[in-house]
Structure 1
Amino acid sequence: MQKHRLLPGVYFEFIHGEPDENDIIRYEDDYGRETAKRVVMVSGGFDPVHVGHLQMFEEAKKLGDKLVVVLNSDKWLIRKKGKNFMNQEERAGIVRGFSCVDDVFILESDRNDVGEAIERIRPNVFANGGDRKAEADIPEAKICKELGVEMVFNVGGGKVQSSSWLLKRHSE
């Protein structure tokens, strides 16, 4: 697996396959559990990025010491929604610009969840926004339980904005 630096704190990488001891993003080696820092992870397409995402990031950061954002790649969005609005580098750059965000990883995976990223990053907390309110709503619940990752729901409060709503208004 290769990690390519785009901007300070913004990385592009292909996250797929089984993690092994040579993986380069083992957060426990940098500032994760071994150094008693609390790593919080959030994930999403963030296409386009809006104020609701910022509110979620700010609230998620309060849950720990470091906030890691896993951003779904363009290919992932096209597979799921049929298109993307902003390219992954733009989305990553904007998200990284928020002072509450410490690192951004662009996820390229054949799966429709971020379980592989959770396995590799090993956060203490997996935070979910206002559109996800229970374990039944997220496919990553199983891997979080296996790894002892705390799941927090409704981070950032209720849905104040939606990328889909913005895109719909844009197309009208």
Structure 2
Amino acid sequence: MDKKFNTIDWRKSVIILSGGFDPIHKGHMRMFREASNLGHQVIVGLNSDDWLTRKKGKPFMKFYERKEILEGIKYISNVVKFDDSDDTARSLIHQVRSTYNGGMFNHDWEGNNPTGRKDYEIYFANGGDRGKGNTPEMDTCRKLDVTMLWNIGGGKIQSSSWLINGGKDE
């Protein structure tokens, strides 16, 4: 399901990104910029404050603050809330696929597409800290015919936690 960047049809592609973006940093900006160069629409699934609490103990910035900042970034087409209660972006992938590829009119509840209709190519993009060994959404992408993209924006150059804790920088 991996895809080479030069084979993406920009006019009919949707790039999905997800994260807490708490706080947003230059690595995120590079990821957003590269995603916008690859796809017609860049959809950012923004993780909840509850997800950040489970991951880091508490959010540095509240959901509505992070959402407002992301909505002001020119590389992003839409920022969406999604159900991250299972600590994955699986529901986001389902949500975007349903929105852009006809939803229930073209797919049954098992994810099969009996009509063969595919309005958009959908990609789930991952930044520099994700790989095949730590991306639980791979099974969902495979089942729903969503292509995985890796290392969007380059390697991990900064971390929100590093910024908050005054740690490592470039």
TM-score (norm 2): 0.75
Report the Cα distance in structure 1 between the residues aligned to 2:82 and 2:43, rounded to whole angstroms: 12
Aligned to 1:143: 140
Highest Rg: 1 or 2?
Answer: 2
Report the Cα distance in structure 1 between the residues aligned to 2:48 and 2:151, rounded to whole angstroms: 24
Aligned to 1:9: none
Does the aligned pair in 2 maintain the 1:130–1:155 contact within 8 Å?
yes
Aligned to 1:64: 39
Structure with the higher strand share, 1 or 2: 1
Report the count of equivalent residues: 134
Match among 144, 159, 172 for residue 156 of structure 2: 159
RMSD (Å) for aligned C-alpha atoms:
1.5
Q: Unmatched 5+ residue regions in structure 1? A: 1-35
TM-score (norm 1): 0.74
Aligned to 1:4: none
CA deviations over 1:44-96 (Å, ceiling 9, x no partner): 00001111101101111122100000010111111222100001111111111
Shift of 1:146: 0.5
Q: Unmatched 5+ residue regions in structure 2? A: 1-10, 98-120
Q: Is residue 127 of structure 2 the alignment partner of residue 129 of structure 1?
A: yes
CA deviations over 1:129-155 (Å, ceiling 9, x no partner): 0111x3222000000000111101100
Does the aligned pair in 2 maintain the 1:71–1:92 contact within 8 Å?
yes
Q: Secondary structure at the match of 2:141?
A: helix
